[in-house]
Structure formats: structure tokens, C-alpha cells
Amino acid sequence: MSSGNEYGPGAIERFDHPRNRGALRDATGHARITGPCGDTMEIWIKSQDGRITEATFDTDGCGPTIASGSMATELAIGKGLTEAAQIRQEDIIEALGGLTEASRHCALLAANTLKAAVIDGLRQRTVETRQANRRATTCGECEQEDCSAKTAPPDETEEQRLERQALASRLCRIRHKVLVLSGKGGVGKSTVAVNLAVSLSLAGKRVGLLDVDIHGPSIPRMLGLEGQRLEVENQALVPLEIGDLKVVSIGLLLSGRSDAVIWRGPLKMGVIKQFLKDVEWGELDYLVIDSPPGTGDEPLSVCQLIPDADGAVIVTTPQEVALSDVRRCVNFCRQLRMSVLGVVENMSGFACPQCGQVTDIFKAGGGERMAGEMGVRFLGRIPIDPRIAQACDDGRPYVHHYAETLTARAFQQVIAPILGHGSKTGTGSEPTPDYDPENGFRRGACPRF
């Protein structure tokens, strides 16, 4: 890139030979802005399926304005509407190879005009109805009266509105969002989250599993995904898939399993928003979100970003030292007006793999008593089975590979109320022929893991 005292090669080329100049017929978005310097810029865009297919410009301005308008339209073609609206002055200058300090404002005029054309295109964009889920994917134009994208706070900027709509367009295709929380570490929360997600998938549901434990992502190891990376297609992250289960984790973006993530709150909020907004989850029946222990940044961010979440499953162990922290979790949910779907008492006794007898090592029944005291549902007890640890280390979903064990059947009992909750909401599930609350899943119901 050239210094601020000369024009870059891309700028010089476009002074006399600009690209994409002239009005565009049948444009789906258009804007015309006159800058403080007196130059006027016009940009037209044409989009299809939310992506810009053509973009042109015209201006009565000088050579740098012509070059900036040309480059702005070149950068916009092929991008999604939201992404094109985020093209900045610096992006245009960099693509041109540099502008002089006196002409940098020309790139700002081009960037602002492009953004205004995209906003105009979003306003004019007609709804394309999706067969799946019978919902419109263009936010704010669907038939749902309670759609949050239809109204905007009075102090919201257009950029904030675009970002909110991008998030809403992803989330509205996910019927049920379930958080998995714990008051403290070491209670087996991630193990419960993985097997809960797999159990729902075994019940014939389309399921996503999102690991937002930024500092200690363990989901990739538990599902045998270590060493694999998320890919980007059409400006969206593509989840890894195991059978019908889609998985996203910060661990799938790190270069090595020992890499440390040293981030403060705002950065964590940003990546969680990206996992929700920029991941191509597609149509899902359930999104299970594994949150780190406690009531800190990550669970708070999820609750703020998904105000319509179905609720939280809270994991505890029977000891009082864990139960006191779970009470805080319940109060955390209540303060944020998040429903508590129920409490799971993990490590509730040791199930002997030889005889099946259960021995209470860490007491038993504490989770159920606490749930009664707090007025929340008790989902069930999950006994310790040594094969759970081995399955997690081997990256093999326990509830599938050991489906006949007492502990696997306990997991199946835990999801029964969650499946029932989905049915009661009116957006949830059809009857599940492969699942029976007494006998669990039919063997071979979902052999893809």
C-alpha cells in the first residue's frame, strides 16, 4: 500500500478506466449522497437470495471519487447484504492501494453511499418463503406478530439494526434453545450437555450443540472432533456434523489443543454473538448451549442474545457444596427472566458395570430436595459409570455406544420432559416413535454416531 502522499496503482487505473459505472436497471437498492466537498455519489445494487449480484455507481466528482465508487461496488459484488454494509473507508483505500490524505474522504463518501444503498435494498427486499419450518427468512417481514425484528429501539442505529436482524434471521430457524448451566465446575456439565444433545438427536430431532466455554472447550474431545476445524462457506461458519448433530466450539478454531484463550468480557461476548449470528445452523429443532460454570460473562451473554430461549437445564451433584452454587444459578435465571427447565443430579451414586447395583458415594437426593425447595422441576438422577469417562476420552457418545446401561437410560429419562416441553410450546415435536419413556430408545434408532 502506498504512503499518504501518492495514489496506489488501483486508484490510478480507475481514474480513467472505472468499473461498474452507470445506472443499473431493475436495482433492488439505491442511494445518492452529496459529500461536504460537493461531490455527489450514487450507487445501485441488485441482490438475489440476500446476496449482491450486481452493483454500479456514478458520480460528478473527481478522479479519487470515481476510483472509490468503482472499488466500493467491486468489493460489494458477491457479498451478503449485511456484510456489504460493513465495507469501510479503510477497506476501499486498502483495495485501491492507497489514496492521498487530501482524498481519503472520497472513500468515506463511497462507503457511506454503499451502506445506504444496502439499507434501501433491505427495506425493499421482498419475502422469499421457505418450505422448511414454514417461516420467512427475511427478518421483520415474516407473519409472526411477536417478531423482535419488526420493531427497533428508538436509539438504535441502522448498523445495529442490521446486526440484530442478522442474528434474528438465524435464531428464528431454531425452534428450541436450551442452555446447560452449573453453579460450579467439576459436576459433569459438559458431559450432560453432550449426552443431552446426542439423546435428542437419537430421538429423531435436528440438533445443534454450541460450546461457549471459551476458556475450557471440551466438546471437541468428547465427540472425537479434535484436530478438525470449522470452515467458511458463503461468509458463514459451517458446523461440523456427527450424524444429525451439528457442533460448534471455540476449540474448533484453535490451532492446537493446548492453546490458551485469554480474553476479557467484550471479546467473549463478540465471539458468542458470532457463533449465533454467523454460523449456518440451518433449520434445527433444538440448539443445546454448553455454558461454562458459574454466572459470569458467557451465560449472561447468551441470555441477553437469546431472550426467547426455552430455558436452562442446571446440573449439580448431590453434595451441599455444589447445591449452594446451584441455588445461585436458579436465582440468576430468575433475575434474567429465563425459565428453569429443571435440575439434573449428576454423579448420583455409582452404577456397578458388573451387577448394576447403585452405591451412593456422594450422597443422593440432594438435587431433588433442592429443586423442591426452589420450586423448580427435578429432571432426574444420573449415576456414575466408569465407561462415561472412557467414552469422553475416546470421543464416543456414551448414550449411543452404551445405550443399554442404567446410566444411559437415566439420560433418556432426563430428556423426556424436555421433549414434552417442546410439544407444549406449539412449535415443537411430533410424537417420537423411537423413544419410550419407560424403555428408552429402540436399539438402532439412530446408528450414525
Name the percent of the chain in helix, strand, coil, to the closest 5: 40, 20, 40
Question: In this structure, are residues 204 and 219 in contact, taking their beta carbons and an 8 Å threshold?
Answer: no
Of 79, 306, 359, 330, nearest to 178 (Cα)? 306
Question: What is the grid cell recorded at 213?
Answer: 466455554
Which residues are marked as active site? 37, 106
Question: In this structure, are residues 133 and 144 in contact, taking their beta carbons and an 8 Å threshold?
Answer: no
User: What letter would DSSP give residue 372?
Assistant: H
Of 172, 263, 257, nearest to 212 (Cα)? 263
Half-sphere exposure of 210 toward its Cβ, with a 13 Å CA cutoff? Answer: 29
* Per-residue exposure over 48-59, b if at least 16 CB sit within 10 Å of its own CB, e if not: eebebebbbbbb
User: What ranges make up the beta strands (E) of 49-154?
Assistant: 51-59
Question: What is the grid cell recorded at 409?
Answer: 437410560
Strand, coil or helix: 58: strand
Please name every residue paired with 245 in a beta bridge, in sequence order, or none if there are none: 207, 242
With cell 432426563, the residue in question is 414
